Amino acid sequence: MCTVLILYGYGEYQGHTSQLHKISFEIVKISEKDGDCDDQNSDSCAEIIIEYPVFSIPENRNIEDKINNYIKNEMLVSIFSEDKINSFDELVHNYFDEYRQFKTDDPASYQEWFIERSGTVKFFNDDFISLTFSEYSYLGGAHPNSYTVFTVLDLNSGNKVTLEDIFITSYKPILDEIAEKEFRKLKELGEDESLDEAGFWFDGNRFSINENFALSNEGLTFYYNNYEITAYAYGSTELIIPLAKISQLIKDGGILTEFMKQ
């Protein structure tokens, strides 16, 4: 099976800090089909689409390699098992093998499989890159499945950024309180309205941020996937907290220090 690669070029990006880094990226797209996919009335088709960025950082090839390897590993997560996948050809091959085996085991079944897996650049500057990894799939069952994971990578080290890297010690109770106000505003809940009675699942009926976050010029964004805090029918939740509302929590010398001066 031949994998199709399509590259889209992007220009250089001038960061917000005083130092200029020449950062650019290309989008790689892999798209394959198997079965009766050309027949619009057919339900016997399997399709996989994978799309992700590849960064170029000429001033620091070590960081470039570290970031691109991180992205590649996220995109190569196995679909059907916990086995390590070493290449996109292997990932695609395994997917269609599973589909063909399904059709062999149940030839009378007319079922369309699809997976759309993507890594996208949400934001970047001279200090960090915010990425979104998401998947939308249907492999049988009552409904399609989806997930979204945010990741922030430090451009000075190539490491994944945690909330502890951004905020002062003992930040969480204050951040939870600020985030809960934004959450209640987003969900149109009263100040004293029970989260549990409103259909949300938080331990002890107390709002809490998670570790699924991104940074951008919009602010600090948390993402709650389907089933994480409420029923599937209510969908996912993307909660944006303006940085101005949490400026007192930002650690001096952290990756947001220069960004907040803009």
The enclosing domain of 174 has a CATH number of 3.90.640.20
Q: Structurally, how many domains does the chain consist of? A: 2
Rounded-to-integer distance, Cα 69 and Cα 64, Å = 8
Do 137 and 84 contact (CB within 8 A), yes or no?
A: no
The CATH number that applies at residue 71 is 3.30.565.40
Residue 177 is part of which domain span?
Answer: 163-261
- Let me know whether 85 and 146 are in one domain: yes
Q: What is the per-residue pLDDT for 5?
A: 55
- Let me know whether 143 and 209 are in one domain: no
Domain-ending residue, one of 154, 178, 200: 154
- Let me know whether 62 and 179 are in one domain: no
Range 41-60 burial, b when 16+ CB lie within 10 A, else e: eeebbbbbebbbbbbebeee
DSSP character string of 39-67: -TT---EEEEEEEEEEEE-TT-HHHHHHH
pTM of the model: 0.89
As beta bridge partners, residue 36 has none
Domain-ending residue, one of 129, 154, 179: 154
Q: Tell me the pLDDT of the chain (262 aa) as tens digits.
A: 444 454 444 444 433 332 446 788 999 999 999 888 877 777 788 999 999 999 999 989 999 999 999 999 999 999 998 899 999 999 999 999 999 998 888 877 777 899 999 999 999 988 999 999 999 999 887 788 999 999 999 999 999 999 999 999 999 999 999 999 999 999 999 999 999 999 999 999 999 999 999 999 999 999 999 999 999 999 999 999 999 999 999 999 889 988 887 7
Rounded-to-integer distance, Cα 128 and Cα 98, Å = 38
Rounded-to-integer distance, Cα 204 and Cα 194, Å = 11
If you ran DSSP here, which 8-state letter would residue 9 be given?
A: E
The contacts of residue 109 (CB under 8 Å, 6+ apart) are 102, 103
Domain-ending residue, one of 154, 186, 205: 154
Q: What is the per-residue pLDDT for 9?
A: 44
- Let me know whether 150 and 171 are in one domain: no
The contacts of residue 69 (CB under 8 Å, 6+ apart) are none
Q: What is the per-residue pLDDT for 204?
A: 94
Can you tell me whether residue 116 is helix, strand or coil?
strand
Q: What is the per-residue pLDDT for 145?
A: 92
Q: What is the per-residue pLDDT for 110?
A: 72
- Let me know whether 195 and 127 are in one domain: no
- Let me know whether 49 and 149 are in one domain: yes
